Amino acid sequence: MQHRPGASVVATAEAAGPRPLVVRFGALGDQVILFVLIEALRRRFGVPVDFLASGAWSKPLAEANPAIDTLHVVRSRRTPYLLSLQQQRLVRALRSRPPGPVWLCDADERGTALLRRAGVAEKWLLRAHRDCPRLPGEHNVERWLRFAQQSPPALPPMAAGDAAAIVRGLTCPPLRVLPAWRAEVEAWLRTLAIADRPLILVQVGNKRTMHPLASHRRASNSKYWPEERWAEVINRLQRRHPTAVVLLLGVPREARINDEIARLARSDRLLNVARQMTVPRLLGLQERALGMISVDTGPAHTAAALGCPVVVLFGLAEVEAYAPRSPSGAVEVLTGRDENGLSILAISVQDVEDAWERLPLRSPRAGEEDSVGRRG
């Protein structure tokens, strides 16, 4: 996958050197946050970087990111190397690259093993867990920006002024919606007869919630918020926005919990679209929606990065490290606490409604005027 190089912010001798490689086998939200590192390295070296990742979401996100040149995807690192044709193809591709700097963003030794097989010399390698551990109270955006300013032993350290220049203005992950995605979403919404309606997005599931071998209601699931509460939130939103349609997002395995919420909410302005969702469609919806309510999961990060106003319900995750970042600042983070400590179950329906009221929601699209006014 090739992209036209962007303009360099820092004109250094590094611009004529080899292309950087970033390695991160993270979930969707991890990958979105990492885009600040990728953009800072593009500025530093004057060329798009190569990216080694995992997950079906990697391809569309990379396609829309001009800071990424070549994307390598490995679906499974747990498969033994001799049984994985994909890992073997990756190693051959990495061996064909000229020697160059590598930013390894995982502590997992499987990634290191693949780089060793590809012949990456230690002098070119930076390891985040060793060279850039997260500081107390630090958001991962700031951590990755610090990491971008570091140099492996084979490169000289950056001058202070150049280091500051490559991170200037990078306060949230850069994310784009391609015109083709926008057009596809418009056509899809027309098939649902809601292309001219205000949209509110709701994301109730996540990888942890919908574990294939365990109930989503299990006590250990720190991101589960009960279906009846989601149904009540949706009913309140629809009373507040009487022309809006609520879309329940997710992936196909999350459709069952959405079905139950829809049954409880009993609304003809509520659609479960989890079985029809793709990453481009998700981003296209988030670009145009009034706002979104979500548990702490990847789509909350893509929504925030696209400027979609979002309320995010956190369980045990560290808010200071993982709160979604938005160019508009339109993010309301909710946490709850009970006698045992932090708990998403301690967040009430009223807490969510109040947070929604505080959001600076987008105006409805032309011809979609909502009859309910808002404070402020």
Query: Which residues have CB under 8 Å from 237's CB, separation 6+?
Result: 200, 244, 246, 293, 353, 356
Question: How many Å is the maximal CA-CA distance in the chain?
Answer: 63
Closest C-alpha among 84, 93, 13, 7 to residue 47: 7
So where are the chain's domains? 13-167, 179-358
Q: Within 10 A of 9 (CB to CB), how many other CB atoms are there? A: 17
Q: Residues of 360-371 as b/e, b for ≥16 C-beta within 10 angstroms?
A: ebbebeeeeebe
Per-residue pLDDT of the chain (376 residues; tens, 9 = 90+): 434 434 344 444 344 467 999 999 989 999 999 999 999 999 999 999 999 999 989 999 999 999 999 999 998 778 888 888 999 999 999 999 999 999 999 988 888 999 999 999 999 999 999 999 999 999 999 999 999 999 999 999 999 999 999 999 999 999 999 999 999 999 999 999 999 999 999 999 987 655 554 455 545 468 999 999 999 999 999 999 999 999 999 999 999 999 999 999 999 999 999 999 999 999 999 999 999 999 999 999 999 999 999 999 999 989 999 999 999 899 999 999 998 899 999 999 999 999 999 999 987 753 344 433 343 3
Q: Within 10 A of 215 (CB to CB), how many other CB atoms are there? A: 10
Does the structural domain 179-358 have CATH classification 3.40.1110.10? no
Contact status, residue 176 vs residue 266, Cβ threshold 8 Å: no
The answer to whether the 13-167 and 179-358 domains have the same CATH topology is yes
Closest C-alpha among 27, 29, 24 to residue 127: 24
13-167: which CATH topology? Answer: Rossmann fold (3.40.50)
Q: What is the pTM of this model?
A: 0.90
pLDDT of residue 369: 40
Q: How far is CA 292 from the centre of its chain?
A: 14
Q: Transcribe 116-153 into DSSP letters.
A: HHTT--GGGEEEHHHHSPPPTT--HHHHHHHHHT---T
Q: How far is CA 290 from the centre of its chain?
A: 19
- Give the Cα separation of 279 and 158 in Å (integer): 36
Query: Which residues have CB under 8 Å from 29's CB, separation 6+?
Result: 297, 298, 300, 301, 322, 324
Q: Within 10 A of 165 (CB to CB), how many other CB atoms are there? A: 19
pLDDT of residue 219: 53
Closest C-alpha among 217, 197, 296, 308 to residue 260: 217
pLDDT of residue 185: 98
Q: How far is CA 359 from the centre of its chain?
A: 20
Contact status, residue 236 vs residue 246, Cβ threshold 8 Å: no
